[in-house]
Structure 1
Amino acid sequence: MTDAGIEYDTINCETAEGEDISSSYGIRNVPTVIVLDDNGEKEELFIGLGQIIANLEVIKKYSKEARFTYMPDLENDLVDEIYRVAQQCNVKWFDGSFYVFDGKIYVAVSNDAIEGAFKVWMSRIGLKISQKRKQQIFRNEFLPMVKLSNKLSPRLDIVAFSNGILDLSDITFHDFSPEYHVMYYHPYKYDKKAKCNLWQKFLKEVLPDKRSRIILQMFLGLGLIERGTVYNQCEGKDHPKIELCLILIGEGANGKSVIYQTAMGIFGRDRISGIDYDELTSQGDEGMRARRLLREAIFNWSSDSDSRTFGRKRTGVFKRIVSGEPVTDRSIGNNVTQNFNLPYLIFNLNELPYPDDNSLGFIRRLQFISFDVTIPKANQNKTLAQDLTAEYSGIFNWILRGTKEIRKRKFQFPDSEGSRRQLLLAQLRGNPIVAWINAYHIRSIPQAPNEQCIWVSAKEVVRCVEDFCRDNDVECPSKQKIGHTLTDHYFDKKRTADGYEYKMYGVSLGQLLDPFVIRNESFAIEGEDEDGFIDAND
């Protein structure tokens, strides 16, 4: 509707008592401005202005007395009433653009269309003022009041479908209404009973590990949660911060692209940006212009990221985005601004990245889902993404179950076999000592009262790390590096006659001497999942 056409219609002018006063006010056939969208459907730009105009005494005075003469008292009254009109009209302001309700959602409309409608409206109601003054009133009085009073406040938990509005805060379904500030509607129906059998069958084939499917389901479920509602200690919201970037890792022909295309269809192409790591973290204007695309996005999903550049340099910006902390952006020709509403990050990688940042602060922000199953060419369905469009209503319900599940788990993701393996492999490339600590579940502090520790000599630690690195085919760090890493991870040490010893919890010396080859280990999670919102077929 940006370049919408304009036409005019008449409205009834009645007082609250039902008296038609349009004739006495000299404003018979008062028009309401109608905006035509691209499909030729009408939408009132100024809803209810007939009733407002009919009760404005200043309109009568201007129509019969002003005659283009400047009258200070009338001028002040007119400005006051223009403020009132601006506050009650159906024009909204959001992020640098004006919006009007089109019967389903709010859509952008150009300033020129609003100004043209405003001028014609003022002329048709009989105001005897110049075109220049009309423009001044529009730009200096009307628009500023709209920006101040009529702000659009979109929320991720208010979702529009082709058949109505779903309020996820209480899972209630409503008819379309301007009360719901939605700027995108999903081009499929909401049906709480809809199933997604084909989708579930596909996921079980490419992700046989149930925990991996749950992680995917829960992460996509974040797209239905307003990020600011998850944590805000000032408002008493003490849930843990979501500080995870989802990494879908695996070579080709394993279903990652089908999941990506389906998510685009479910959430909308306008709600998923696709900025790769290098652009996302770039410095200067290049990086700020790229990050501008993150605004209003639910996810930033890079569908074909380069493993060679992911995590290379500028990891500070990446960590801020993952943590939901504001970053600067800029559109061409405008000033630098801060974005406080950042999307969740997802990257599709064919192989493990080689990050420069080997710190725990970087690695802990990566949530891996490992796609280890390669679909044989003879079994590949090239139209699967298209076939799944018929199940969008059911897939949305599947995602909604993920939303409920992550709330139930207090925004904590479960471990999975593939995720743990990929995390250790990533740590192995970055800092083998950290991988060794996590592989053997070594801790620097007790987890329970009276938990017994062991003291391991520095020589034994070096020998164990060397064996671990040799078994996993990586170069072993120096003795000094091993010592510095253990100190950085808060392991206590003491000097003895034979040298230093380190205090360790959660492991025995015999376990440390057992070989641990990451690629050969089974990371199966023991025990069944507790009852939750995840369906048995998910």
Structure 2
Amino acid sequence: MSNLNPQTPAKSLSNTTDKDKLKHLITNDINQLSESVEVVKPNSNDILTKLLKNIDVIDFYLLAFPNIEELRQSYNQLKSELFGETPIYTDTQSTEYKEVFKQWQNISKELSKCKLTKNHYLILCIEQLLKIAEVNKWGLCKKNNFIYLFNGYYWSEIDKECFQSFLGNVALKMGVEKFKGKIHTFKEELFKQFMADAYLPTPQAKINSILINLLNGTFEITPTKRGLRPFDQKDFITHQLPFEYEPEATAPLFQKYLDEVLPDPDKQKVFAEYCGYIFIKPSVLKLEKMLILYGTGANGKSVFFEILNALLGTENISNYSLQSLTNDNGYFRAKIGNKLVNYASEINGKLETDIFKQMASGEPIEARLPYGDPFILNEYAKLIFNCNELPKDVEHTNAYFRRFLIIGFDVTIPEDRQDKQLPQKIIKNELSGVFNWILKGLDRVLEQKNFSKCEAIDNARSDYEKQSDSVQLFITEMDFKISVNEYILISELYPQYKMFCIEDGYRPVGKTKFIQRLKHYKIFVNRINVGNVAYLSNNH
């Protein structure tokens, strides 16, 4: 009788410690496996390739000339009656023969006119494509001169070159000759024809709701409910955050980072609120602010920049300077229509103040692409800037300054306490928790209809107003006081001001603007017999 037991018996797992070890090993293996599995997002090229399978050969002649079949039949019938094997009309001199022959000639002339041109191909390819798209309910739409495709999760913008290539392939499948359909100019003209002909209305999203797309669904906030629900093509959401919503997730490492770089709890609250405000459409709430993260040195601003880029997804963020965004040509503004936030480091330089105020307020703005027609953007990215220095050559009005929400990063982190891997640690483990921190800020903004009160932020704006106005700084630092009786000649005061600016590195304003600024600060300026004077006293 053979021995059924193995020569080396397996260890018994009756011991609790051994079972725990095995469970730990299996759990680790599962975690490593799940971390190595990459979530594959639908690719626009793949979807367009699938759509191509619905395209068949079409009869361009029949579509361009609907009566061509009837003409062909009549032509062949008369030809048979005149020249067939058993012709009906044989007497070429008879009246009947001549009448039928003339009819045949006329039809022949009509058929000779039925010649396809490039315009026929361009128009018919696009007409048929749009009909197929409508019948098959493809998620295809046009907004602000951009083409969007619904990929099952969100609406993704299709690159112009990619869509031109798709249109060229459509033409080839419909039967356009190879050496016409593959040439680049033909594809470009197909695209222009599509943009001119396509009526693909954008789905109308709910006006009073806030929608945030995540990997496991759409988080919806309305006046009556909030929570996760399935993706819906009708929402016309153009983003998807690269993580799942987990209502119980926390972010202890992120909170520790905040407590170190922003120890003021009021600053933290406003910070979270603005991050939540990113997701609020102007139709729901307009707070007319842009966020400035201000401070010099190693203070943690760049850490947050990396975290927010990962949280929102780089495809949902643009990084244009304020000067570029306010440029008259509008090219850069056209690029932020489908972004959640424009987050950049550069804020200095000459900017168009009126456009800046419009953008900070979330008002409709004009934009255009190179060689394209202007269009109006009603929804576009919120504005965040990291900066070491605030703009100085600015408009000195409340309408300008009230649009700044300045959060000072005042704590410098010593080099021996800097963790260069901190952003990646938070990104890898805590994005869902950081998102929940943002949601709390979003809830506060919706409830308060405003950002929370923060004395440090108010003071930062007040200081900015003073620091950006060299005239006010001059009056304050030189200890001038408003006077009823005493005065100083402008011809003496203005040179003192210019010297002050040169010594302190400020750009002096002209004499006319200098007088205007004095008047703005309630300093009485008058012309008397000795010249223009400002009613100020100075005991020094």
Q: Same fold (TM over 0.5)?
A: yes
Distance 1:41 1:339 in 2: 28
Say whether the 8 Å CA contact 2:289–2:405 is kept in structure 1.
Answer: yes
Distance 1:343 1:107 in 2: 16
The one of 137, 148, 158 equivalent to 1:89 is 137
| 2:154 matched residue in structure 1 | 105
Change (3 A) 1:157 1:482: closer
* Length-normalised TM-score, structure 2: 0.59
Say whether the 8 Å CA contact 1:104–1:176 is kept in structure 2.
Answer: yes
One-letter amino acid of the counterpart of residue 69, structure 1: E
The one of 337, 341, 344 equivalent to 1:295 is 337
Which string of whole-angstrom CA distances, capped at 9 and with x for unpartnered residues, describes residues 307-364 of structure 1? 5x3xx45322212221223333222221233323232222111134323322222222
Say whether the 8 Å CA contact 1:98–1:111 is kept in structure 2.
Answer: no
* Length-normalised TM-score, structure 1: 0.59
Distance 2:483 2:48 in 1: 81
| 2:520 matched residue in structure 1 | 485
Say whether the 8 Å CA contact 1:433–1:485 is kept in structure 2.
Answer: no
Higher fraction of helix: 2
| 1:394 matched residue in structure 2 | 433
| 1:262 matched residue in structure 2 | 307
The one of 242, 248, 255 equivalent to 1:187 is 242
The one of 193, 214, 236 equivalent to 2:269 is 214
The one of 194, 198, 214 equivalent to 1:161 is 214
Say whether the 8 Å CA contact 1:356–1:430 is kept in structure 2.
Answer: yes
Deviation at 1:396, TM superposition (A): 1.0
One-letter amino acid of the counterpart of residue 105, structure 1: Y
Distance 1:150 1:360 in 2: 40
| 1:374 matched residue in structure 2 | 412
Change (3 A) 1:460 1:420: farther
Which string of whole-angstrom CA distances, capped at 9 and with x for unpartnered residues, describes residues 32-88 of structure 1? xxxx958978996499x99xx9xxxxx9xx9xxx997269xxxxxxx9998596265
Which string of whole-angstrom CA distances, capped at 9 and with x for unpartnered residues, describes residues 1-53 of structure 1? xxxxxxxxxxxxxxxxxxxxxxxxxxxxxxxxxxx958978996499x99xx9
Distance 1:146 1:160 in 2: 31
One-letter amino acid of the counterpart of residue 152, structure 2: G
| 2:320 matched residue in structure 1 | 275
Say whether the 8 Å CA contact 1:424–1:435 is kept in structure 2.
Answer: no
Distance 2:352 2:148 in 1: 37
Say whether the 8 Å CA contact 1:92–1:150 is kept in structure 2.
Answer: no
Distance 1:460 1:223 in 2: 52
One-letter amino acid of the counterpart of residue 160, structure 1: N
| 1:247 matched residue in structure 2 | 292
Say whether the 8 Å CA contact 2:266–2:452 is kept in structure 1.
Answer: no
| 1:326 matched residue in structure 2 | 364
One-letter amino acid of the counterpart of residue 90, structure 1: W
Which string of whole-angstrom CA distances, capped at 9 and with x for unpartnered residues, describes residues 201-237 of structure 1? 101110011111111111111111112322xxxxxxx
Larger CA Rg, structure 1 vs 2: 2
| 1:203 matched residue in structure 2 | 258
| Number of residue pairs matched by the alignment | 379
Distance 1:298 1:391 in 2: 20
Say whether the 8 Å CA contact 1:425–1:435 is kept in structure 2.
Answer: no
Distance 2:436 2:266 in 1: 19
Say whether the 8 Å CA contact 2:343–2:383 is kept in structure 1.
Answer: yes
Distance 1:413 1:437 in 2: 33
Change (3 A) 1:332 1:461: same
Runs of 5+ consecutive residues of structure 2 not aligned to the other structure? 1-41, 72-126, 176-180, 477-481, 498-502, 525-533, 536-540
| 1:384 matched residue in structure 2 | 422
| 1:69 matched residue in structure 2 | 69
One-letter amino acid of the counterpart of residue 167, structure 1: E
| 1:426 matched residue in structure 2 | 464
Deviation at 1:415, TM superposition (A): 2.5
Please state whether the residue corresponding to 1:375 is helix, strand or coil: coil
Distance 2:165 2:386 in 1: 42
Which string of whole-angstrom CA distances, capped at 9 and with x for unpartnered residues, describes residues 156-177 of structure 1? 9322222222223332312334
Which string of whole-angstrom CA distances, capped at 9 and with x for unpartnered residues, describes residues 366-385 of structure 1? 11101110001011010111
| 2:30 matched residue in structure 1 | none
One-letter amino acid of the counterpart of residue 89, structure 1: K
Q: Percent identity?
A: 23
One-letter amino acid of the counterpart of residue 199, structure 2: L
